[in-house]
């Protein structure tokens, strides 16, 4: 069992002259909830896409579940889940159809799919909505469903890119309940966010500023190091340089 | 394999749920077919002719009558004023002015030769060419009549029409009624299938790119070819379906004959669709927005159609252009559909076409699949 | 006002930075005009002909020679039996089959009459017609030349003059048509897609929430396309003139003003389409089917309107392009002034006003 389930060493991504991700290095331990913090445009999404096999890194090294992100991308995809900022579910398909589709794409057997579908709809209380189009669901429901679909194939790691954007605090709290539950069952969570208070829910966090990792460690540790009360203040201190 | 089925399920559901596009995909082609085939005709009747008759003799009168009694011309008016004629031409109220000189009858009777002046409004070059053709036909017939009369008058015992005449009866095979629709409708079917296959398929893939939904797919372990087949197969099926409906229309509404083998026709269409889908896919790998995809597809579509032999026969093009058409898949489909439907050509006649289109299909699809990346 | 200007600038950037679309927008008309000017022609040449000649005598070989040296025909093959005729048509290359009598020359001498049969592949009726005419007239000429009896031969020689298009160049009609299509395509289609895209992507709401008035948003979106279509049309005009000698005999100013008028009509149509389309796909298909196709087919620039069924002719009255083509043809190729085209101009102006009013109404409804 690999301990370091995500590793990065001097990982860099350049777009022409612009360096979006600048030699970042870190490790994520199995089972952790790892928060990848930073302001908008700091490079978080770019970094996450490199781990998910959506973007070619420019240089450096990286691995996911012990597999190299340069050469073993397709193998990595079998072991990870992903939920993006913009979108996860097809608006013109129903709840049930989305679940069926993604479960099928990840190779689940038919009876497993049906089982999972029922399980999910029960758990999220979507019973009445099972055959309704996603477009008719409120945002909060969609995101919870998207997360559940992202882990439907029991991946080792799930990558979440700003999963709680635009949602009210109560729904955010519920979302994090789901995350914790998944973490308890052994899934490693790699989540990016610009909500600094969510950093408190993570085991460890890193903070990106202008493409670099400027801080790495437990939230409590960082607050002590920087002599501040909240993660927000840590961020402000770092951002001001 | 099962993964492919899930892709197909999703695609079909999405296509059929697209309430706005459905009528466009199914009804519009038929409406187009109806309208286009009725509108697209190069047959020209009712050409307007205006006379300046400076002779006003029996012969000139006969000539004028010949024109107005023909199917092709309508006499708009006549006068002995050239300025008036010019004015009429200027105002687009006539297509052709025929001037008969004042010694027309005398010249014919005395010397056996006479001149006529035709002024043609040639803004529409094609129409002008046809107008001249028809005029010459009428003049020729008129000449024949006169010769007949003069010969018989001079030599009553000769019962033959003309000395040393070659009888040239002709017959038309395959489209006896010279129906332009019969010629155009198969061509329009090609057009329809191409639009559905090429246009819509490329836009469909790019739509996922534009909306960002493609990311969610790229992050799964789905194999490239499963994704691509899943995206294209529905349009392949759709294309064949539309082709079928088009064929039925052609037969029932336009009475276009289907002489050759349907199986051959469908086989070729299937391969052709495969090629066109590949082209659409290729376009989708080069564009990021639906607008770009649409424009690129539109560009190729127009060029391919112009050079396909739909409007203009390929043999009429300059040699360099003819060579270019060898790269145009539509050209092959156009030929095959006309040959098989209207003439009953068989496999041995079109096997070269099959071969080339298959080669096309395989290479463009391979190239497009190679270009398609799950990673940027 | 400054806000408005900034918005217009943004729209320009959007469009100009889209290299691919730019290349196509400019490249396509150029490619089309080149193709149409150089490659598309209705003149027939190199038609493949097959000959069945049982006589194989002096006269038939001279006839064949005349035929093949005319430039219209290429000999595909000699046939030996009538059974070979159908297959040779099915092969696809041969357009005309010629069948001579047996003892052709003898028949000519003895009976003053001999038979040649022409069979034409009439799948393309026009070509068939023309080819038959060619063969017939080549033969008539030959026969006449064999036996010049002065008394019984009458010839009427038509002298032909062309007005407005000396060389019967197809491209003369094509350039006005192409300009019409471009103006319609770029202005209407692209405008409708651009507005619909904002709707589809959800950014329209953001715009509407800004202090800019809806009408300003629309106008700002639309201005770049006016510029674009105008420039492209002018390029086509220039190309047509320099490469193909398509003239602009009449007043250039009048021409350009009419361009503008038509652009306004197209714009209004584009906006109208965007009010009824939810997605770009729909906007595209509606523009294509509802605007482009009727413009090409029913405007009269490729297929003459007089020959269409009455109902289609009626429909063509409500297609703005139909009137615009008349204006273009008259100004460019005949040098007409406003006196001859005031009627069409008025109709176009009427269209413009009507469509603007309707689309603004619809737009307001959509908003509420």
Nearest to B36 among C92, C162, C297 (CB): C297
* Rounded mean pLDDT, B259-266: 90
* Rounded mean pLDDT, B48-52: 92
* Rounded mean pLDDT, C207-219: 76
Q: What is the pLDDT of residues B313-339, one digit of tens each?
A: 787 788 888 888 899 999 999 999 988
Answer whether residue B3 is part of any domain: no
Contact B67, B49 (CB under 8 A): yes
Q: Do B10 and A101 touch (CB under 8 A)?
A: yes
- Whether the pLDDT of residue B160 is over 50: the answer is no
DSSP string over C78-113: EESSGGGHHHHHHHS-EEEEEEEPTTHHHHHHHHSE
Whether A82 and chain B come into contact, CB under 8 Å, resolves to yes
Whole-angstrom distance, CA of residue C192 vs CA of residue C205: 17
Higher pLDDT, B315 or B262: B262
- What mean pLDDT value characterizes chain C? 80
Residues B308 and B185 in one domain: yes
Whole-angstrom distance, CA of residue A101 vs CA of residue A116: 12
Contacts of A52 in chain B (CB under 8 A): 219
* Domain spanning C47-146, CATH architecture: 3-Layer(aba) Sandwich (3.40)
pLDDT < 70 stretches in chain A:
1-2, 87, 241
* Rounded mean pLDDT, B97-110: 88
Whole-angstrom distance, CA of residue B367 vs CA of residue B371: 6
* Rounded mean pLDDT, C161-170: 64
- Whether the pLDDT of residue B159 is over 60: the answer is no
pLDDT at B200: 81
* Rounded mean pLDDT, B97-103: 90
Answer whether residue B217 is part of any domain: yes
Contacts of B220 in chain A (CB under 8 A): 77, 102, 105-106
Residues B34 and B58 in one domain: no
Whether A39 and chain B come into contact, CB under 8 Å, resolves to no
pLDDT at C158: 65
Nearest to A105 among B18, B222, B376 (CB): B222
Work out the angle between the directed axes of helices C58-68 and C125-146 (0-180°, nearest 10): 130
Cα–Cα nearest to B273, from B313, B302, B234: B234
Q: What is the pLDDT of residues C69-80, one digit of tens each?
A: 888 888 999 998
**Based on the structure, what is the number of domains in chain A?**
1
Q: Do B175 and C20 touch (CB under 8 A)?
A: no
Q: Do A54 and B2 touch (CB under 8 A)?
A: no
- Whether the pLDDT of residue C147 is over 70: the answer is no
Query: In the complex, which subunits touch C with 3 or more CB pairs below 8 angstroms?
Result: B
Question: Which residues share a beta bridge with A213?
Answer: A208
pLDDT at B162: 40
Contacts of C329 in chain B (CB under 8 A): 123
Q: Do C117 and B170 touch (CB under 8 A)?
A: yes
Phi and psi at residue B170, to the nearest 5°: -135, 155
Answer whether residue B249 is part of any domain: yes
Nearest to C38 among B38, B298, B321 (CB): B321
Chain B nearest C-alpha distance from A147 (Å): 12
pLDDT at A80: 93
Query: In the complex, which subunits touch A with 3 or more CB pairs below 8 angstroms?
Result: B
Q: Do A54 and B375 touch (CB under 8 A)?
A: yes
Higher pLDDT, A7 or C34: A7
* Rounded mean pLDDT, C324-341: 84
- What mean pLDDT value characterizes chain B? 83
Q: Among B154, B187, B222, give the residue marking a domain's end.
A: B154
* Rounded mean pLDDT, B198-213: 82
pLDDT at B41: 65
**Based on the structure, what is the number of domains in chain B?**
2
Contacts of C132 in chain B (CB under 8 A): 170
Nearest to B6 among A56, A82, A105 (CB): A105
Residues 254-293 of B with CB under 8 A from C: 286-287, 289-292
Which of B38, B86, B159, B168 has the most C C-beta neighbours within 10 Å, making it the best mutation to test the interface with C?
B168
Whole-angstrom distance, CA of residue C87 vs CA of residue B79: 54
Structural Rg of chain C based on CA atoms: 29
Flag whether C touches B (3+ CB pairs, 8 A cutoff): yes
Residues B343 and B232 in one domain: yes
Q: Do B220 and A52 touch (CB under 8 A)?
A: no
Nearest to A73 among B10, B14, B375 (CB): B375
Contact C237, C248 (CB under 8 A): yes
Q: Do B375 and A56 touch (CB under 8 A)?
A: yes
Whether B32 and chain C come into contact, CB under 8 Å, resolves to yes
pLDDT above 70 coverage of chain C, percent: 88
Residues B188 and B293 in one domain: yes
Residues B193 and B148 in one domain: no
Residues B149 and B243 in one domain: no
Contact B162, C204 (CB under 8 A): no
* Rounded mean pLDDT, C176-191: 82
Flag whether A touches C (3+ CB pairs, 8 A cutoff): no
Residues B213 and B331 in one domain: yes
Chain B nearest C-alpha distance from C25 (Å): 8
- What mean pLDDT value characterizes chain A? 88
Find the closest chain B residue to C145 by CA distance. B164
Using H for helix, E for strand and C for coil, what is the string for chain B?
CHHHHHHHHHHHHHHHHCCCHHHHHHHHHHHHHHHHHHHCCCCCCCEEEEEEECCCCHHHHHHHHHHHHCCCEEEEEEECCHHHHHHHHHCCCCCEEEEECCCHHHHHHHHCEEEEEEEEECCCHHHHHHHHHHHHHHHHHHHHHHHHHHHHHHCCCCCCCCCCEEECCEEEECCCCCCHHHHHHHHHHHHHHHHHHHHHHHHHHHHHHHHCHHHHHHCCCCCHHHHHHHHHHHHHHHHHHHHHHHHHHHHHCCCCCCCCCHHHHHHHHHHHHHHHHHHHHHHHHHCCCHHHHHHHHHHHHHHHHHCCCCCCCHHHCCHHHHHHHCCCHHHHHHHHHHHHHHHCCCHHHHHHHHHHHHHHHHHHHHHHHHHCCCCC
Chain B nearest C-alpha distance from C353 (Å): 28
Which CATH number is A219's domain given?
A: 3.40.50.300
Flag whether A touches B (3+ CB pairs, 8 A cutoff): yes
Spans of all domains in chain C: 2-40+170-367, 47-146
pLDDT tier at C330 (50, 70, 90 boundaries)? confident
Which CATH number is B92's domain given?
A: 3.40.1710.10
Q: What is the ipTM of this complex?
A: 0.81
B·C CB contacts under 8 A: 325
Range with the poorest average pLDDT among B343-347, C136-140, C175-179: C136-140
Residues B67 and B22 in one domain: no
Q: What is the pLDDT of residues C240-284, one digit of tens each?
A: 888 888 888 888 888 999 999 999 999 889 988 988 888 887 888
Range with the poorest average pLDDT among B339-348, C19-28, C151-160: C151-160
- Whether the pLDDT of residue C313 is over 50: the answer is yes
B287: left (phi over 0), alpha (psi -120 to 50) or beta: beta
Residues B74 and B117 in one domain: yes
Q: Which two tokens stand for residue B124?
A: 């529409």
Question: Which of B174-183, B351-360, C295-304, C323-332 shows the highest mean pLDDT?
Answer: B351-360
Range of the domain at B98: 47-154
- Whether the pLDDT of residue B23 is over 90: the answer is no
Nearest to B213 among A53, A90, A105 (CB): A90
**Which H or E element spans position C304?**
none
Range of the domain at A191: 4-240
* Rounded mean pLDDT, B147-161: 58
- Looking at C245-337, list the stretches that DSSP marks H as alpha helix, in order from N- to C-terminal side: 252-276, 280-286, 293-298, 310-316, 320-329
Chain B nearest C-alpha distance from C318 (Å): 15
Whole-angstrom distance, CA of residue C92 vs CA of residue A67: 60
pLDDT at A158: 94
pLDDT tier at B157 (50, 70, 90 boundaries)? very low
């Amino acid at each position: 069992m690999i301990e370091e389930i995500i590793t990065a060493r001097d990982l860099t991504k350049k777009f022409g002259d612009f360096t979006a991700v600048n030699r970042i290095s870190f490790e994520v331990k199995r089972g952790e909830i790892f928060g990848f913090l930073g302001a908008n445009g700091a490079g978080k999404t770019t970094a996450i896409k490199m781990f998910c096999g959506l973007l070619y890194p420019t240089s450096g090294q990286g691995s996911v579940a012990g597999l190299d992100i340069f050469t073993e991308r397709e193998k990595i995809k079998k072991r990870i889940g992903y939920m993006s900022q913009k979108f996860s579910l097809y608006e013109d398909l129903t709840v049930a159809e989305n679940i069926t589709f993604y479960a099928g794409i990840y190779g689940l057997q038919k009876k497993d799919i049906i089982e999972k579908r029922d399980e999910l709809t029960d758990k999220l209380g979507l019973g009445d909505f099972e055959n309704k189009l996603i477009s008719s669901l409120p945002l909060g429901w969609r995101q919870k469903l998207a997360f559940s679909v992202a882990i439907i194939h029991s991946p080792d790691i799930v990558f979440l890119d700003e999963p709680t954007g635009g949602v009210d605090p109560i729904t955010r709290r519920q979302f994090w309940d789901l995350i914790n539950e998944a973490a308890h069952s052994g899934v490693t969570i790699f989540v990016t966010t610009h909500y600094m208070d969510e950093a408190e829910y993570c085991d460890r966090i890193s903070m990106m500023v202008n493409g670099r990792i400027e801080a790495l460690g437990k939230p409590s540790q960082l607050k002590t190091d920087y002599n501040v009360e909240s993660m927000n203040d840590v961020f402000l201190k770092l951002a001001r340089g | 394999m099962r993964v492919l089925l899930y892709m197909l399920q999703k695609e079909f559901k999405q296509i059929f749920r697209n309430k706005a596009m459905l009528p466009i995909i199914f009804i519009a082609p038929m409406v187009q077919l109806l309208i286009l085939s009725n509108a697209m005709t190069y047959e020209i009747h009712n050409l307007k002719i205006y006379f300046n008759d400076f002779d006003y003799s029996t012969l000139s009168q006969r000539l004028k009558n010949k024109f107005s009694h023909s199917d092709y011309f309508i006499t708009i008016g006549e006068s002995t004023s050239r300025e008036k004629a010019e004015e009429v031409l200027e105002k687009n109220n006539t297509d052709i002015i025929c001037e008969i000189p004042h010694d027309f009858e005398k010249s014919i009777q005395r010397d056996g030769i006479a001149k006529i002046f035709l002024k043609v409004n040639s803004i529409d070059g094609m129409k002008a060419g046809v107008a001249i053709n028809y005029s010459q036909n009428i003049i020729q017939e008129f000449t024949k009549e006169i010769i007949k009369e003069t010969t018989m008058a001079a030599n009553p015992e000769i019962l033959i029409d003309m000395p040393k005449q070659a009888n040239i009866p002709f017959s038309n095979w395959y489209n006896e009624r010279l129906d332009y629709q019969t010629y155009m409708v198969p061509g329009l079917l090609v057009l329809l299938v191409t639009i559905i296959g090429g246009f819509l398929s490329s836009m469909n893939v790019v739509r996922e790119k534009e909306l960002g939904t493609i990311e969610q797919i790229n992050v799964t372990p789905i194999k490239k070819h499963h994704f691509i087949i899943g995206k294209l197969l529905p349009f392949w099926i759709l294309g064949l379906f539309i082709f079928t409906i088009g064929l039925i229309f052609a037969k029932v509404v336009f009475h276009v004959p289907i002489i050759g083998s349907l199986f051959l026709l469908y086989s070729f269409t299937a391969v052709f669709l495969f090629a066109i889908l590949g082209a659409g896919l290729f376009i989708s790998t080069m564009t990021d927005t639906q607008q770009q995809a649409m424009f690129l597809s539109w560009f190729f579509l127009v060029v391919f159609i112009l050079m396909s032999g739909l409007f203009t026969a390929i043999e009429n093009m300059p040699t360099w252009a003819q060579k270019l058409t060898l790269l145009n898949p539509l050209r092959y489909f156009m030929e095959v559909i006309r040959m098989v439907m209207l003439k009953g050509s068989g496999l041995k006649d079109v096997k070269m076409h099959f071969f080339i289109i298959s080669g096309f299909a395989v290479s463009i699809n391979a190239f497009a699949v190679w270009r398609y990346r799950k990673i940027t | 006002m400054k806000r408005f200007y900034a918005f217009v600038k943004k729209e320009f950037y959007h469009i100009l930075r889209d290299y691919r679309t730019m290349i196509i927008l400019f490249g396509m008309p150029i490619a089309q005009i080149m193709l149409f000017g150089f490659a598309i022609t209705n003149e027939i040449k190199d038609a493949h002909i097959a000959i069945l000649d049982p006589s194989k005598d002096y006269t038939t070989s001279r006839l064949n020679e005349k035929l093949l040296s005319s430039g219209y025909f290429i000999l595909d093959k000699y046939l030996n039996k009538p059974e070979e005729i159908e297959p040779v048509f099915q092969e696809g290359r041969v357009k005309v089959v010629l069948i001579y009598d047996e003892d052709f020359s003898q028949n000519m001498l003895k009976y003053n009459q001999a038979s040649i049969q022409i069979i034409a592949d009439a799948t393309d009726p026009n070509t068939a017609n023309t080819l038959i005419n060619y063969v017939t007239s080549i033969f008539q000429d030959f026969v006449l030349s064999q036996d010049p009896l002065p008394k019984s031969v009458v010839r009427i020689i038509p002298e032909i003059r062309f007005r407005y298009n000396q060389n019967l160049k197809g491209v003369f009609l094509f350039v006005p048509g192409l300009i019409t299509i471009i103006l319609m395509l770029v202005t209407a289609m692209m405008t409708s897609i651009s507005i619909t895209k904002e709707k589809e992507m959800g950014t329209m709401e953001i715009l509407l929430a800004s202090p800019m008035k809806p009408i300003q948003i629309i106008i700002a979106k639309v201005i770049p396309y006016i510029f674009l279509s105008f420039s492209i049309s002018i390029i086509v005009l220039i190309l047509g003139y320099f490469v193909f000698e398509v003239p602009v005999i009449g007043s250039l100013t009048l021409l350009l003003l009419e361009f503008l008028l038509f652009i306004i009509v197209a714009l209004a149509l584009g906006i109208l389409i965007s009010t009824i389309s939810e997605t770009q796909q729909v906007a595209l298909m509606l523009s294509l089917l509802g605007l482009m196709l009727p413009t090409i087919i029913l405007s009269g620039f490729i297929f003459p309107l007089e020959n269409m069924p009455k109902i289609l002719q009626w429909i063509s009255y409500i297609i703005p392009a139909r009137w615009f083509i008349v204006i273009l043809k008259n100004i460019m190729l005949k040098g007409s002034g406003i006196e001859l085209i005031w009627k069409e101009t008025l109709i176009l102006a009427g269209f413009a006003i009507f469509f603007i009013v309707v689309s603004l109404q619809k737009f307001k409804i959509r908003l509420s």
